[in-house]
Structure 1
């Protein structure tokens, strides 16, 4: 008899513990599908199977809900990426390739890949969201890539370069891939489809080797 009496209470506890995760999953889906402005907290609560009041117990506003989604799906990964960088034993070229490929596997292939498009589309309307994304995602991402490039220069594997601009050379093709995935990709004919892994491999090859068949000193940067 005690076991029968405890079962409903245990189910309620499990349900309560599951609510934040369910709310974040529902919010991510709706934010990516509809955008930040068009998503209503009532919709998120309904999709998660709870009341709006319950949602506000965990997240006091839509802004805080969005921030929690970003931390859970993207920003929270920088700790593990930095640990992997510290432990990586291969060359810096191998590390760069691994970083870009793992980013696609952990972010690009998931629903979280749509957050970048959302932020870029709505930054002007919601500057506080853009500032948060800058602090939690863009800044740490730049720091990580700078570490990889600096590692390569320190080991004599990469030529001297202006790090701030070099970082954007790494980020730009990844942003393009995300924007393409969440805009033009569903509308493109088969002949214009982009296979993400092949695209990343091509970009890494271009970044590491350039376009010239042989080195040409006339194309070196002023810092070379």
Structure 2
């Protein structure tokens, strides 16, 4: 029997796994945004045809949703399980949670998704609603659990959980926006350590800014 020639590069790439397509899509979404990214570009970067991409993801919206589930939403189950098994104080849990968030999302290409959502949500309400359902709501729930854990143990005073959660989210969003905007433009001496920033924020939240928290705040005349 004659020996068949080895498949060409294009033929081999037709068997590309969905993970390779998601990696290519994530890179392009972060580089160019949702509106400017074309599925042809994603397929080309992954080394497959557009038709092959559509076998896995029927539309660009489906591709984006898969990227979010793979890189961000899927992490939330990990953190919920770690919260259940965590042994330590609520303050240690809070610090661990924010540090691990930075290591697993903030330091990865997926960190650019937040900036994309904030800049394009108004023009694409469907993906904004999806992000709210898949990431924001479960993330809020997870942070509420951490804060409730502190209140139940007596470590934290009674808190308005709805507002307290925003106090934790705000520095995280700031870091992501900074990383994908000003940080790429400023010289090295203007940069700062993200984990040190998170530690500073946690200390402010846990201790407040008053030297003696129970003392009344003095007002000075302008």
TM-score (norm 1): 0.90
Instruction: Give the structure with the higher percent helix.
Output: 1
Q: Distance in 2 between the 1:18 and 1:113 partners?
A: 25
Residue 36 (structure 1) aligns with: 34
Q: Which moved more, 1:62-71 or 1:209-218?
A: 209-218
Superposition CA RMSD, Å: 2.2
Query: Is the partner of 2:17 in helix, strand or coil?
Result: helix
Q: How many residue pairs get matched? A: 214
- For 2:220, the equivalent position in structure 1 comes to none
Change (3 A) 1:190 1:214: same
Unpaired runs of at least 5, structure 1? 220-224
Asked if the contact 1:19/1:48 (under 8 Å) is kept, the reply is no
When normalised by structure 2's length, the TM-score is: 0.91
How far is 1:130 from its partner? 0.4
Structure 1 residues 16 and 150, CA, compared in 2 at 3 Å: closer, same or farther?
Answer: farther
User: Stretches of 4+ moved more than 6 A in 1?
Assistant: 11-14
Note if 1:176 corresponds to 2:160.
no
Partner of 2:77: 79
Q: What is the aligned partner in structure 2 of residue 68 from structure 1?
A: 66
- The residue that corresponds to 2:25 in the other structure is 27
State the Cα distance separating 1:47 from its structure 2 match: 0.3
Which residue of the partner structure matches residue 222 of structure 1?
A: none
Tell me which residue corresponds to 2:45.
47
Alpha carbons 1:27, 1:65 under 8 Å: kept: yes
Aligned counterpart, 1:203? 201
1:13 offset after TM fit, Å? 11
